[in-house]
Chain A
């Protein structure tokens, strides 16, 4: 079948256009990303969730650690979600406003995820890029270290640390920071191995640029696409990780809370008919995780050169 004439001309026009106005990699990726409806919808959801975590506190009628003693013993019918009482999501089993607590929990969970991803991006990328760029024995030692660290069941070591040094949000961040960069280091190293043989790196070496500067200025920017993709996919994993520990009661401590801790509390009282106590935290948890996964997938389709 012959291609019809209009289409051929259309291609010709497009080629001329391309000559007139070059498209950068990022502009290209942006159009691809915005064509993916699920990813865009998820991005909007994420923005809403983040807005809820940031500004939800201003709508809440109660402080998150205010115990409404008038509700004790009558939680089942007075603590139900209602606009009239100001407890939009009802109250928890201690008579605290669940809306305020969900706002706080979502905020902390998001923060944990973002901090974990940031550590991964900074430490993991630099580590992996350095290992890949220097190569040889340095690479061997650095990557064997990663292998060794990866085969340790970190959840157990982290719980050991939380027990020994006390449960605090700082320890939690430290523990998450310790593991989150391992995968990223591997990915960054693998990419660096292909990048470092490109001509522009050769030129930099030939003109006598310092290795550290080559890594920072020439290699890392080229890693950025894949790093962003994996960082986005890492955020939900970190949120799940933190929720896991908080579900066991070993993570964030009262009066602070996180989605995992709220789900745990809700799961204990749901058998008495307080379904809202698990439903609202669970809803925010699932929506957040879902949205991050979809945005990550969308970014991967947009940025990963493998699928082109």
Chain B
């Protein structure tokens, strides 16, 4: 098991390095520096500023410094637009928000999706099954940027139940719409995957044996069917995580929740390269870490995997 983890790490770390280098090269090759504005600065001032941000050094030195800073101190450097803030400050401000509603969205998507899928599989071809299938097909064409306006229209503008945006320290009524908007389409996918894999498992011989020896259905499901049925869901969690963290950009922009997505898009319009890079790398690191966790969990649950 330990060697398996190490082998996965051996892939994960170069991946992360590639991401860091890729984004740095992209930034470096950008036409025009971050301080080229419509009103040209005097060359001495520009030289001073570039010296302060280390932009006057040769390319290889810049990239080595950047990578060392990121790897050893989690230091993404100063923001190019906000003079008084570093990228770390921006992340520290936005990340807890993203993490909060992201966590809840993930919990909702997985728990509701799995229970809906299992219920639909057990009660196959009943109204419950049709409802679950219908909901999951419907929800699949409602990605977060479609869900968000619809929710806002219904709950804020027509019913007036929920505030239309803001964060207020994460109170539940500010949390509810971001979570629903972010989790719906993933919940639908998880429900579909769970349903089909559960149906497949329920038709296998060992389940028939368990039923034949007189185990109650509840116990068969929980004890025997759940573990193999959950495996396809596990392998979907990686892509779902990427999708949600990407979707958080929409949520932040649409509901003004103030997560990292909002900073990301603002920086994209302001050409604040260091913030964009910092967030990209952070998200990449999270994704890689999460995929690693899923892989380990998968290897732990699935006895067929050799490691």
Contact = CB atoms under 8 A, between A and B. Distances in A.
Interface of A: 144, 147-148, 151-153, 155-157, 159-165, 236, 240, 243-244, 247-250, 260, 263-264, 266-267, 270-271, 275, 278, 282, 285-286, 289-290, 293
Contacts of A156: 246, 264, 276, 279-280, 283-284
Given A148-B11, A153-B242, A156-B283, A244 B145 contact: yes
Contacts of A164: 26-27, 29-31, 273
A48 B249 CA distance: 33
A267 B181 CA distance: 14
Given A148-B14, A162-B268, A247-B250, A153 B287 contact: yes
B11 A163 contact: no
Nearest to A161: B26
Contacts of A290: 141
A234 to B, nearest CB: 14
B23 interface: yes
Contacts of B277: 160
Contact of B149 (A243, A270, A286): A270
Contact of A153 (B27, B246, B254, B265): B246
Contacts of B177: none
Interface string B140-181: 111101101100110001000000100000000000000000
Contacts, number: 116
Given A153-B280, A244-B250, A285-B146, 4 more contacts: A249-B265, A267-B152, A271-B164, A286-B141
Contacts of B284: 151-153, 156
Q: Which interface residue of A156, A263, A286 has the most chain B CB atoms within 10 A?
A: A156
Interface string B266-295: 001101010011011001100110010000
Nearest to B268: A163
A285 B140 CA distance: 12
Contacts of B233: none
B19 A152 contact: yes
Nearest to B30: A164
A270 B157 contact: yes
B280 A148 contact: no
A275 B29 CA distance: 44
B140 A248 contact: no
Given A160-B276, A248-B250, A153 B245 contact: yes
A250 B19 CA distance: 22
A267 B268 contact: no
B22 interface: yes
Nearest to A155: B246
Nearest to A267: B149
A156 B277 CA distance: 9
A172 to B, nearest CB: 14
B268 A159 contact: yes
Given A157-B23, A247-B145, A266-B149, A151 B15 contact: yes
A282 B268 CA distance: 26
Contacts of B253: 248
Given A151-B291, A156-B280, A244-B143, A263 B14 contact: no
Contacts of B288: 151
A119 to B, nearest CB: 19
B137 interface: yes
19 contacts: A148-B11, A151-B291, A152-B18, A153-B242, A155-B246, A157-B26, A163-B268, A164-B26, A165-B30, A243-B145, A244-B250, A248-B249, A260-B145, A263-B146, A267-B148, A267-B149, A270-B153, A275-B153, A282-B149
Contacts of A155: 246, 249
A293 B143 contact: no
A248 B265 contact: yes
Contacts of A267: 148-149, 152, 254
Interface string B1-40: 0000000000110110011001100110111000000000
B15 A148 contact: yes
Interface in B70-107: none
A134 B147 CA distance: 45
Contacts of A248: 249-250, 253, 265, 268
A278 B280 contact: no
A153 B19 CA distance: 9
B191 to A, nearest CB: 15
Contacts of B157: 270-271
A90 to B, nearest CB: 17
Nearest to B148: A267
B150 to A, nearest CB: 8
A250 B250 CA distance: 12
B188 to A, nearest CB: 11
Contacts of A275: 153
Q: Which interface residue of B22, B164, B271, B276 has the most chain A CB atoms within 10 A?
A: B276
A160 B153 CA distance: 31
A159 to B, nearest CB: 5
A14 to B, nearest CB: 29
Contacts of B249: 155, 248
Contacts of A157: 19, 22-23, 26, 280
Interface in B182-215: none
Contacts of A250: 265, 268
